[in-house]
Structure 1
C-alpha cells in the first residue's frame, strides 16, 4: 500500500539522499524542516555539507512544470512535496509552542487527518520526538537505511564439526577442503573440531578463491613480542599480516587487544619488513564527557591528549621489552615518529589526500559516520592496507548508534568481499580487573 512519509530535518541532515530511498511512496517535508536545515548550511562539518547537499537536491527537482509545493515525481514512482500547515500551531501536549519540533509534528498530524486513505508515518531520528508523536496518535519510525546488524552478534571464528581425518589432513598439508554443508564468508575464521574428539581441533581461515580452509600464518613467537592469547587474536593477527587483505575491521570491548594487535602488525610490516612506506595511525577527535575547551600550544601539543592512547601502546611495544625485532630495540618509537616512518595524526584533514603504500590504522572508528568512513577508505592508494578498530557499544558521537556508525556499516557491507576481513574480539586480555569491569559494568 502506498504511504505518506513525513520526514524530520535530522533525517535529511543524516542522509541527504534519503528522499530517494522510500520507493514509490509519497514524501512530505515540512517547511519548518527546511528552516532548521538552513541554520547549518555554513558549517564546515559533515552536517553542514549534508545541509548544502539536500538544498541542491531539492533545487534540482524544481522546474516550471514541477513545483515542490504541489509535488514533484521521483524516479522510483513516488512524489515529494514541501508542506506548509494552514496555521502555525499554538500548543500541543508536551511541546513548547515555539519549538520547531512542534511545527514539524503538526504537519504530520495535518497530513494524517487530511489524507485518511493512506497510512501516514512520521520519520525522525529523535527518540523523544517519536515518543511524543506516538502519544499524539501519529505513527512514527526511525530512519534505518544505513543501519547494519550488530556486528558482535556474528561470530568471527565459526566452529565446524568434521571427521577426525580432515583435522589430520589439515595439520599435514596446511589446508583442507571447506565443509560442503556450511556456508562461509570469504576470510572467515574456522575452527575445525573432530566429531569424535572435542579436544582435537585446528584453527584456520576460509580462502574463497581456493574453496579451502587454510592454516593461519601467525608467527609462533608472536609479532613484535606480542603473542595471541586466544583464537580470535590469532585469527586477527593472520588478517593483519596478510597483504592480500586490504581492509580489516577489529571490533571488541575494552581490553581485547584491538589497537595493540593492529600497531604490532603495522610495525612489523612497516619497520621490520619494509612492505609499507609508513605506518599512519589516526583517531577521531571525540571527547569522553565534557570537553576541556581550547588547548594551548602548537598542533602537536594540542593533539597530544587526543593521541595519548596510541602513544601508550607504542611505548608498551618498545619500552616494556615486547619489541625484540630487527633494529627496533635501538630505534625507539620517538625516533620513528621523528623520521616520519610512524605518523600519528587526527582524521580532521584527511579529505583530499591520497595515501599509497601505507599501513593505515583508524582507532575508535565507531565514532565515525558511514560517510566519514567512506571518505577515509577512498583515500587508500595502491598498496595501502586499512585497519578500523573500535567498540560499537562505546560511542561518544551523538549522531550515530551501534547500528548506524561507520565501523558497523563497513563490517556488514564488506563481509562478502575477498579483500576484507572482520574479527570480533570477545575476551578481554588487558587485566583481570579490566575484564571484570567490562562485563559487570
Structure 2
C-alpha cells in the first residue's frame, strides 16, 4: 500500500461501505488463524446478506499456509482486486480476527504483516497493550486434571522479565488462582479460583497508575487461562471466562481500547466450548448462561461507548459486529437450552440465569435499534436497515418473545418450558456460525 493510504484495523474507522465486509473479514481472519488456511476465489458474489448478517455460500479453494507475513500478501492482493471499495473493511476485519486467533502463539504476526502491507496505520500505540513476551509466556502455561482437581502450571509467567504493569496483572492472577508468588520454574499447583480475591485486586488496580493497561492484561490472561482450562474442566473455565468479562467491564471507557480485547474473547474461543464431546451437566449449562450474560453486558457497553465516540467525532462507525456477536451468542445458548431439556425442573433451577440472559438480549436489541435509528438520521449507509423487513422470525418478534418472559409477573417452570418451546418461531437461530452452541454431544 502507498504510504499515504490508511491501513485500518478497527471497525471504528470504517464507513458504511467498508463496514459491509468487516464481519466477513473477521471470520476469514479467525479461520486462517485456527486452520492455517486461506480461502481463494472468494468474492462478494459468494456472499448472501439475509438482513442481519452475511452467509458465505462458497468458501472457495483452501490452501494451507505458514503463519508468516509474506504468506498473506498474494492472497490480500487478490482480495483487493476482487473486493474493490469493500476491501478496506474486509482487510480491517481480517487483521482483527487474525490477531485474535494468534494472540499468544504468534504474538508478533500482526505487526509484521502491518509492516509488510505498508500504508499509514490508524492504530494508536495503546490499541494492543500486551508485549510479545507476556503473550508468549501465557501460551506456555498449561492446565491438567488430577485426582484433587485442576492443576495449573504458570511457571512461564514467573521466570520472564516484565514491566511493572505486567507484574501487577500477574500478581492479581496469582491471587485469584491461589498460586504462590515466585513459584519455581516447572512447578505445578492445584488451582482454586477465588472470584472475591480477583475482584478485590481489580478494584485496587483501578486506583493505581496505568490502571487501564493492567486491567486489560488481567482480563486477557484470564481469557487465555480459561481457554486452556476448558479442555479439562468446563465449569472452572466458564468461571474464569466470566471473570475476564467482569474485569474488562472495569477496564476503561475507551471503546477503541477494548475492541481488540473483546475480539480475543470471541475469536480465539476453542470449539470445545461450543461443541462438547458429551452431554453437559446442569452446573455446566448454568455456568454457560452466566458467562454468556456477562459477555453480552460487555458487548452492549462497548457498543454504546462506540456510539458516544461516533457523536463526538472520534470514530466514523459504531461497533456493529460486537453487538451482533452478543445477540447471536445469546440466541445460540437459548437454542441449546431448549434442545437440551424440556423438563420443568431444569427450567425452575435455571430461571434466574435465563431471565438475566433474556434481559440482556432485550437490552442488546434495544441498543441495536437505537444505534440504527441514529445512523439513519445521519444518512449513513448500513445494510442492517433491512432487519425489520425479514421474514418471520425477525428482530421484532425476538424482542416480543423476550418481553413476554420478562413481563410475566410470576413465571412458573411450566411457563418457562412452554415459552422456550416457541423460540424457533420467534427467534432467528439460523446461520449462527461460530455463535452456535450445543449442550449435547455433537
TM-score by length of 2: 0.27
Report the structure, 1 or 2, having the larger helix content.
2
TM-score by length of 1: 0.27
Report the structure, 1 or 2, having the larger strand content.
1
